Structure 1
Amino acid sequence: MSSIHAFICELIRAANEVEKLTAREMSRLLDRSVDTIRDLRGQTEIAGSRRARDVLIDLQIASSRARDLSPEDARDTLLDAAEIIRALRIMLEGDS
Structure 2
Amino acid sequence: MSLTTDFIAELIRAANEADRLTPFEIKRLLNRSVATIREMREQTGIPGSSRARDVVIDLQVAAAKADTLPEDEIRDNLLDAADIIRTLKIILDGKPD
Deviation larger for 40-49 or 3-12: 40-49
Q: Distance in 2 between matches of 1:11 and 1:26?
A: 10
Which portions of structure 1, spanning 4 or more consecutive aligned residues, are displaced by more than 6 angstroms?
A: none
Structure 1: gaps spanning 5 or more residues:
none
1:29: which partner in 2? 29
- Relative to structure 1, the CA distance from residue 77 to residue 38 in structure 2 (aligned partners, 3 Å threshold; closer, same or farther) is same
- What's the secondary structure of 2:78's corresponding residue? helix
Which runs of structure 2 are paired with 1:52-91 in the superposition (5 Å)? 54-91=54-91
How far is 1:30 from its partner? Answer: 0.1
Asked if 1:19 corresponds to 2:16, the answer is no
Asked if 1:43 corresponds to 2:43, the answer is yes
Matching residue's letter, 1:59: L
- Relative to structure 1, the CA distance from residue 61 to residue 48 in structure 2 (aligned partners, 3 Å threshold; closer, same or farther) is closer
Matching residue's letter, 2:28: R
- What's the secondary structure of 2:45's corresponding residue? coil
How far is 1:45 from its partner? Answer: 2.5
Measured on the aligned residues, the alpha-carbon RMSD in Å equals 1.6
Is the 2:48–2:54 contact (alpha carbons within 8 Å) kept by the matching residues of 1?
Answer: no
User: 1:28-59 deviations in whole A, cap 9, x for unaligned?
Assistant: 000000000011000012124557x8111110
Structure 2: gaps spanning 5 or more residues:
none
For this pair of structures, how many residues does the alignment match?
95
Q: Distance in 1 between matches of 2:48 and 2:26?
A: 27
Q: Distance in 2 between matches of 1:19 and 1:69?
A: 11
TM-score, L = length of structure 2: 0.91
- What's the secondary structure of 2:46's corresponding residue? coil
TM-score, L = length of structure 1: 0.92
